[in-house]
Structure 1
């Protein structure tokens, strides 16, 4: 006997969408068949940059060889790429943690460290990348479309690159920067031209099996289809894809049944086909009431997102007319649908009656939609560039009298500094002074000895500000690895 689906009312989805109801349903579908996962939380970490090297050239008869420390290598990026052979997000459900390799440390003799290897992750066509808060980062459609989800850290400069006219032999190097680390949500929205919608056991799976080479699971009980099925349909010279979306019931947009898990797969379809069961034995059900219920659920789902479904053309399919009672009911309700301006087809997935005309009607509607598209539909990448032209840093006085300095550049410099090396700390002070932070602190009312935080209120580096110690002139250097300005610490 085939495995029967777990009653959907008893299932719950976990908070991150991993291992939830859709996953368990997929596991129950088809016994030993492959699972279908369409939503996962992916934890990605780009590679860290390699540290720079502090080295002095040593060679016989050349006592003043000078600094020769190489730079650290850049960390690898994590990139998502659309792969036409990928069908689901199952691989990321099983292994949700992915990390690129880091850059290597620089070496003496001006040898730069090797760059870390980039990590390329394949995703199905139609994958949407979101933050945990629901913000869309990218919408990936089109084979080969790429999106860098996490950038590798920059490698630190070696002391050869830090040498200057005043700092001829730096006794320090910069640390490599950490790579991006974040959690993102991957959602798969099937890219299909036509979506079949309807109650469980309305005959959607039989219909797609009869019109294409797809072989979905078919049985005579509700919720047989637990994953969206895709089929390629040919009608004359037109070729298009049809998605068999798992059965909807009343309340699907609020999470009842299987509908909420798969309603997202309807969003990209240009045409919606209502498959209505004309031979159902369930009390209180008929094609008209089924249509109204499904339309209400589609409208409710549209209100939850930003892709309304009201503008999609509809087709009515009155299925199972091979049953005498079904044909009588189809003839009875057909005028009601035609009065609403809907195209109606009486078909039988079992005997293939009416399927040829239905296929050509679908092809006509898909062709009309494609004709309105640009010659080459652009890939839908959401680009959110960082704002430019703003201040490089900001000084703000906190309630306890301390001062908080925020800004990407100062925080980057902190990450690059080896605080165990006094000369490196002095170099950081020089950089901050040249950026104008010393002047801004004075203008903000900071007094000598004031507490200064760089970073954020939750995580920062704390300094005691001493304005009488001038930093910008690089006059505090002592022997390599020391700074006279820090001797009194």
Structure 2
């Protein structure tokens, strides 16, 4: 199993809310103690938090299913249920969260300590003590807890490193990062040995910085060829680019200048990388004839305004000067870089005066009601308790659903679906336009919902 994982699908479920309790206070010599059922506890949230000490998504590759704790049920004597515990998932800095179905970017997590509630726990149901009113002094029911959010998200890591090593496959990037840091990447003499970025920590005097060995790029990488999009996204957040050029390649049609221009074309086509400072490293100087070729092409690179270093990752020739040059650039970039602020979450309140529901005619005498309030009330209702069903009918009537059904052409006995067509609640509607005209029958009966 790989040690570096930069993209995972995470299956997340928040905790369900605890059910409310229907209880009547019982005490000697107090036959009418009144309702004392407590509320259910809130379900736990699933929270993503940026942790600078986390560098990979490997943990979620191994355990992709995460669930928060459910809230506890309310109890008698006005005792509320305990809230479910939150689950906090640590992710690396620079993690992008996407909806797995639509691909929509939900949030880009940047900055240590940034938190995002990816799945919210369900609210607990109210106990009968909270439901008591002047008209309903001793409710014989309680509300159910609501289920927590459940969704699948894609976590995508864009490496946050100071320096990115870019170049053709087998240019010696992995050998170079192994030579200048304690990283131990897989090294072999065939293309695409590196399929995931290798991160190494490099010290240049008092400056400590990170270097990312980006998998090899080929012409067409900006269009996705050779997993180009997978590799190029790791370059986006690096402050500096180092071209590692193979001075010993024997492939026909390739030379140091054309290799540099080919990689530059792909970086430019990918976009948003034009402002990154560049440096050129002519690698494999220990190979015969490579040093002479390096001496020939160095003036051409310098004419482009590039700083050039001739090195050998195998013999460590020229590495000290190269490391300290990178350290100087990184120190200067950090001094001029603004302080990275945590991602700001924008909360947009709903517009006042919204009805909170919509009525749609599906077919002859069949109607669908959708909206946050009515669908939520359906989830809270215990349909095995007729009194709870009557309470739901009162709420729907006060919301104005009955009037909208009449406007849409519904008649007595119409089939009304609250929620989605696949799993919504279906009932036969009995109109009672005048609330005062509703005759209350025996406790636990109501003719408005069939």
**Normalising by the residue count of structure 1, what TM-score does the alignment of the two structures yield?**
0.84
Which of 130, 135, 155 is matched with 2:98 structurally? Answer: 130
Cα distance 1:368–1:458, how it changes in 2: closer, same or farther (>3 A)? farther
Q: Is the 8 A contact 2:389 2:446 kept in 1?
A: no
Structure-to-structure mapping, 1:178-189, within 5 angstroms:
178-189=147-158
Is 282-291 or 79-88 further displaced after alignment?
79-88
Which residue in 2 is equivalent to 1:43? 11
Q: Establish whether residue 396 from structure 1 lines up as the match of residue 359 from structure 2.
A: yes
1:160 Cα deviation from its structure 2 partner: 0.7
1:394 Cα deviation from its structure 2 partner: 3.3
Q: Is the 8 A contact 2:432 2:438 kept in 1?
A: no
Which residue in 2 is equivalent to 1:10? none
Which residue in 2 is equivalent to 1:20? none
Cα distance 1:472–1:350, how it changes in 2: closer, same or farther (>3 A)? farther
Cα distance 1:129–1:111, how it changes in 2: closer, same or farther (>3 A)? same
Which residue in 2 is equivalent to 1:85? 53
Which of 83, 86, 102 is matched with 1:115 structurally? Answer: 83
1:299 Cα deviation from its structure 2 partner: 3.6
Structure-to-structure mapping, 1:323-362, within 5 angstroms:
323-362=287-326
Which residue in 1 is equivalent to 2:20? 52
1:360 Cα deviation from its structure 2 partner: 3.7
Q: Deviations over 1:239-264 (max 9, x none)?
A: 32111112222343455445443322
C-alpha distance in structure 2 between counterparts of 1:73 and 1:174, whole Å? 12
1:292 Cα deviation from its structure 2 partner: 2.4
**1:485 aligns to what SS in structure 2?**
coil
Cα distance 1:471–1:358, how it changes in 2: closer, same or farther (>3 A)? farther
**1:266 aligns to what SS in structure 2?**
coil
Q: Is the 8 A contact 1:140 1:381 kept in 2?
A: no
C-alpha distance in structure 2 between counterparts of 1:150 and 1:124, whole Å? 19
Cα distance 1:216–1:129, how it changes in 2: closer, same or farther (>3 A)? same
Q: Is the 8 A contact 1:54 1:68 kept in 2?
A: yes
Which of 161, 176, 184 is matched with 2:145 structurally? Answer: 176
Is 286-295 or 78-87 further displaced after alignment?
78-87
Q: Deviations over 1:165-190 (max 9, x none)?
A: 11001011000000000000011111
Q: Is the 8 A contact 2:114 2:343 kept in 1?
A: no
Which residue in 2 is equivalent to 1:233? 202
Which residue in 2 is equivalent to 1:380? 343
C-alpha distance in structure 2 between counterparts of 1:253 and 1:426, whole Å? 62
C-alpha distance in structure 2 between counterparts of 1:249 and 1:456, whole Å? 48
**1:81 aligns to what SS in structure 2?**
strand
C-alpha distance in structure 2 between counterparts of 1:405 and 1:119, whole Å? 34
**2:405 aligns to what SS in structure 1?**
helix
Is 55-64 or 466-475 further displaced after alignment?
466-475
Q: Deviations over 1:12-36 (max 9, x none)?
A: xxxxxxxxxxxxxxx4xxxxxx532
Unaligned ranges ≥5, structure 2? none
Which residue in 1 is equivalent to 2:39? 71
1:474 Cα deviation from its structure 2 partner: 8.1
C-alpha distance in structure 2 between counterparts of 1:380 and 1:269, whole Å? 18
Structure-to-structure mapping, 1:226-375, within 5 angstroms:
226-257=195-226, 259-302=228-271, 308-374=272-338
Q: Deviations over 1:336-358 (max 9, x none)?
A: 32333333222232343433443
1:382 Cα deviation from its structure 2 partner: 5.5
Q: Alpha carbon RMSD of aligned pairs, Å?
A: 2.5
1:193 Cα deviation from its structure 2 partner: 0.9
1:300 Cα deviation from its structure 2 partner: 4.1
Q: Establish whether residue 105 from structure 1 lines up as the match of residue 73 from structure 2.
A: yes
Q: How many residues align?
A: 448
1:324 Cα deviation from its structure 2 partner: 4.3
Cα distance 1:353–1:390, how it changes in 2: closer, same or farther (>3 A)? farther
